[in-house]
Amino acid sequence: MKPNTNAKTVCVIDDDDAVRDSLQALLEVSGSNVTTFPDARSFLETYKPEDINCALIDVRMPGIDGIELLELLAERSNLPPVVIITGHGEVEMAVRAMKIGAFDFIEKPFEPDALIERVNAAIHWGESIAARTQKVSEARAQLAPLTPREIDVLKCLLAGLSNKAIATKIGLSPRTVEVHRAHIMEKTEIESLSHLVRLCLLAGLEPDDQPSQ
């Protein structure tokens, strides 16, 4: 089947040939591009997290099992959305996998519609995380040009202090505080305080009533 360049990519890692073929057919019919691997090692040899939207990983495999593979991916700090495939009675292992970072698990034998629903949910979750991570990075980059003193003033603004109160706390004149505020708005290219507050919250900058001297 010719790959759909707009489709999501799902990797299936399972040592059972029949299961791999079945999952590939099912997911391709649902609109995904699918790549299959008979073991964890072959998957790791070509693994590029940016190319994967979801990974379906069987728990019991020879060599590196599904839990060990999950741990290896988590150690790299680039764990893709993972749905664990378990046999009957392996719920404890599935719970362990989710503690490591798996999105969900599904037991064999699974209903096709249920599996597709969980894979789609994992993909959506991954995209949401990626989008938020990108927004956080952009927000932090927007604040990066600010000087330490401007960050002090900004933290006081987030705490709701007036220019006069900020000046007293930091030991500056109200006029100098106004200049710092103007520089903050200019450097971040933001026109309103409300937008600036939202930017700071997204970037993880917390109000601070004890700025550096």
Give the number of other Cβ atoms within 10 Å of residue 111's Cβ.
Answer: 9
pLDDT tens readout for residues 92-108: 888 888 889 899 988 88
71 by Cβ neighbours in 10 Å (0-12 / 13-18 / 19+) ranks as middle
DSSP 96-135: HHHHHT--EEEESS--HHHHHHHHHHHHHHHHHHHHHHHH
pLDDT tens readout for residues 103-142: 998 888 889 999 999 999 999 999 888 888 888 889 999 9
pLDDT value at 173 more than 70: yes
- How many angstroms separate the CA atoms of 31 and 51, rounded? 16
Q: What is the mean pLDDT of residues 171-182?
A: 93
pLDDT value at 5 more than 60: no
Please tell me the predicted confidence (pLDDT) of residue 4: 54
Q: What is the mean pLDDT of the chain?
A: 88
Please tell me the predicted confidence (pLDDT) of residue 40: 95
Please tell me the predicted confidence (pLDDT) of residue 132: 82
Whole-model pTM?
0.70
In this prediction, residue 211 has a pLDDT band, given cuts at 50, 70 and 90, of: very low
Percent of the chain with pLDDT over 70: 93
Which structural domains are found in the chain, ordered by start? 9-134 (3.40.50.2300), 145-203 (1.10.10.10)
Percent of the chain with pLDDT over 90: 58
pLDDT tens readout for residues 20-54: 999 999 999 999 999 999 999 999 999 988 889 99
pLDDT value at 212 more than 60: no
Please tell me the predicted confidence (pLDDT) of residue 95: 82
